[in-house]
Homo-oligomer: A and B are copies of this chain.
Amino acid sequence: MLDKNGLTEEAFLRSYRAEDFQRPSVAVDMVIFTVGEAEEKNYRKLSGKSLQVLLIQRGGHPYLGSWALPGGFVRPDECTEKAAERELFEETGVDQVYLEQLYTFSEPKRDPRTWVMSCSYLALLDRERVQLKAGDDAVSAAWFELSYTLLREEKVMLAEGGVKTQVYELVLSGEGEKLVAHIERKTRVNEGVATVTYALESCEGLAFDHGKIIAYGLERLRNKTGYTDIVFQLMPKYFTLTQLQQVYEVILDRPLLKAVFRRKVAHLVVETDQYAQGGGHRPSKLYARDWREDLTAKW
C-alpha cells in the first residue's frame, strides 16, 4: 500500500529521519521504600518501625552534594522497566524486587542540563535483603526516614466549582541531615471536571523535583495499601502478625485495632509452626504470605 507520497511502508521507513524532531532524554528514577526499625532499650518492648526511602548523594553537577533518588538514563536497547531493574540492582545489589511504574514527570525545566523526562518507579523491599556498600568514595547511598504531614489546607468554593489547596511537609531524616520539602497539592473542580496538580513549593537539600516524586510515591503506596496486598512486598518471608500490623500502621500513619486487623489479613497468610521468641512476653507465631491469594485477587 502506498501513502500520499507514493511510498511503500518499507521505502517510508528507509527515508524516515528521526533527527528531524527534537527529542528529550529519558531517565528512570526510583522511589525505593523499606521499613526500618528504631533502637529499643527496653528488652520487653517492640522496636518502633519507620518508613524509609533510599537516597544517594550527588557527586557531580547539577545539585552537587544534594541528595537524590537513585536513577539513570534509559538506554536505546531497553524499556524503562529494564532500566529500572538495572539501576536498582546497581544500587542495592538486589534483583527480584516489587517494581511498579509511578508517573512520568516531564516539565521542560525540571533538569537544568537539558530536556529530561523522568519515568519514575516505585520499588518495595524487605530491609534485610539490602546491604548498602558503605561510603563507596564518590557516591554514598543511605536510608532516610520519612514523614509526610499536612501543614495547611484551604478551600475556596465558587459557583460552578472550587479549589482545595493543601500544603504537605515532607521531611527526610538520615545521615545526620534533615531534608525538608513543601509540596502543594491542588484539587480543582471546574464545570464538573476535577483535576489534581502537584507543585514543589520549596525544597532543601533534595535535588531536582525529587521531593515531588517521593510524595507521589508515598501517596501511591498509601492508596494501594487500602485496596491491594502490596504491603507484603515490604515483609520478609516469615513475620508475626504484629510486625505486619506495624508496617500497615507506619504506612497509613494511624493505629489499627488488633482484632479487626487480624480478621482482615487472616485469609492472606498461612501459619507456620515456628515462633518468634526472645521478648519478655508470650512468643508469637510466625506466618508467611499465602501467595496463592495473589493469583486469585484482581491486582
Interface residues of A (CB under 8 A from B): 1, 3-4, 7-9, 12-13, 16, 18, 21-26, 59-62, 64-65, 73-81, 96-99, 101, 103-104, 106-108, 112-115, 117, 119, 138, 155, 157, 161-164, 187, 189-196, 223, 226-227, 232-233, 235, 237, 289, 291-292, 294-295, 298-299
- Cβ-closest chain B residue relative to A10: B61
Q: Are B96 and A79 in contact, CB atoms less than 8 angstroms apart?
A: no
Q: A77–B157 Cα gap in the complex (Å)?
A: 33
Say whether A61 contacts B117, CB under 8 Å: no
Query: Does A291 lie within 8 Å of B138, measured CB to CB?
Result: no
CA distance A103 to B60 in the complex (A): 31
User: CB-nearest residue of chain B relative to A15?
Assistant: B61
Chain B CB count within 10 A is highest, among A106, A155, A189, A196, for: A106
Chain B: minimal CB distance from A286 (Å)? 14
Contact indicator A187/B3 (Cβ below 8 Å)? no
Distance (whole angstroms) from the CB of A148 to the closest CB of chain B: 14
Identify A189's interface contact among B60, B106, B295, CB under 8 A.
B295
Complex CA gap A161/B237 in Å reads: 12
Residues of B close to A26: CB separation below 8 A: 23-24, 26, 106, 117
The reply to whether B108 and A77 contact each other, CB–CB distance below 8 Å, is yes
Contact call B232/A9, Cβ cutoff below 8 A: no
A37: min CB distance to chain B, Å: 20
Taking A101-B104, A233-B193 as contacts, is the C-beta distance between A59 and B155 under 8 angstroms?
no
A98 to B196, CA, bound (A): 10
Given A9-B64, A98-B195, A187-B294, 13 more A-B residue pairs with CB atoms under 8 Å apart are A3-B60, A9-B62, A13-B62, A22-B75, A26-B26, A79-B106, A79-B107, A79-B108, A80-B106, A80-B117, A97-B193, A117-B119, A189-B291
Most B Cβ at <10 Å: residue of A9, A61, A65: A61
Alpha-carbon distance A256/B161, docked complex (angstroms): 30
Name, among A64, A119, A291, the residue most crowded by chain B CB atoms within 10 Å (CB to CB). Answer: A291
In the assembled complex, the Cα of A77 lies from the Cα of B115 at a distance in Å of: 9
Q: Which residue of B lies closest to A197 (CB)?
A: B81
18 contacts between A and B (CB under 8 A): A3-B64, A8-B61, A12-B60, A16-B114, A21-B25, A23-B24, A24-B74, A74-B106, A78-B108, A98-B193, A98-B195, A104-B104, A189-B294, A189-B295, A192-B233, A193-B233, A194-B233, A194-B291
The answer to whether B194 touches A98, judged by C-beta atoms less than 8 angstroms apart, is yes
Task: Give the Cβ gap from A233 to chain B, nearest Cβ, in Å.
Answer: 7
Minimum CB–CB distance for A12 against chain B, Å: 4
A193 touches B74 (CB 8 A): no
Q: In the assembled complex, which residues on chain B have CB atoms less than 8 Å from the CB atom of A194? A: 98, 233, 291, 294
B-side contacts of A193, CB under 8 Å: 96-98, 233
